[in-house]
């Protein structure tokens, strides 16, 4: 028996080794940047949450470095967005406005629209654009495959 700080703990119940951790998982968010004329498009697939919001902000900042006329966030393949994701989307919107670029969100799935509505993100909801109403040259449709794989492009 071992005594630790006044407590008696049988040796078989002590943990003398570090806990085992699962192997690292691939990122839950995939981002692909594309440029179509004077427009930057950031296609996002997966989840925007507390662990991936920083990655989304970095990708949006890279898109805005070229000072595009507008930044479009393609959310057709985004599965999940929490409050950290809503803050990251608002950050991208603010950065675009500060850079003098337009901002829009393309076709978020119903669950993402619901989070935006619950978060009372009327500013983001107002930025939603339907890809069917956009000119063909405005959005590189090759950015995200039908299977949800994001393709890099410039």
Inform me whether the pLDDT recorded for 53 exceeds 70: yes
Question: Greater confidence, 2 or 31?
Answer: 31
pLDDT digit string, tens, across residues 4-41: 455 544 555 545 555 567 666 666 899 999 988 899 99
Q: Which of 58, 48, 51 is nearest to 79 (CA)?
A: 48
Q: Can you list the domains of the chain with their CATH numbers?
A: 29-134 (3.30.750.24)
Write the CB contacts of 26 (distance below 8 Å, at least 6 apart in sequence): none
Task: Please state, rounded to an integer, the average pLDDT across all residues of the chain.
Answer: 80
pLDDT band for 3, please (50, 70, 90 cuts). very low
Write the CB contacts of 144 (distance below 8 Å, at least 6 apart in sequence): 32, 43, 45, 74, 76, 77, 150, 151
Q: CA-CA distance, 149 to 102, in Å (whole number)?
A: 26
């Amino acid at each position: 028996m071992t005594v630790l700080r006044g407590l008696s703990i049988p040796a078989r119940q002590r943990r003398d080794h570090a806990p085992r951790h699962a192997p690292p998982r691939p990122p839950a968010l995939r981002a692909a940047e594309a440029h179509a004329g004077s427009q930057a498009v950031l296609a996002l697939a997966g989840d925007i949450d507390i662990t991936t919001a920083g990655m989304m902000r970095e990708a949006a900042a890279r898109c805005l470095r070229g000072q595009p006329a507008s930044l479009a966030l393609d959310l057709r393949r985004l599965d999940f967005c929490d409050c950290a994701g809503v803050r990251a989307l608002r950050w991208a919107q603010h950065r675009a406005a500060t850079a003098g670029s337009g901002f829009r969100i393309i076709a978020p799935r119903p669950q993402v629209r619901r989070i935006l509505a619950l978060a009372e993100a009327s500013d983001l909801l107002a930025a939603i654009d339907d890809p069917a109403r956009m000119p063909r040259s405005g959005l590189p449709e090759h950015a995200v495959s039908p299977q949800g794989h994001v393709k890099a492009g410039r």
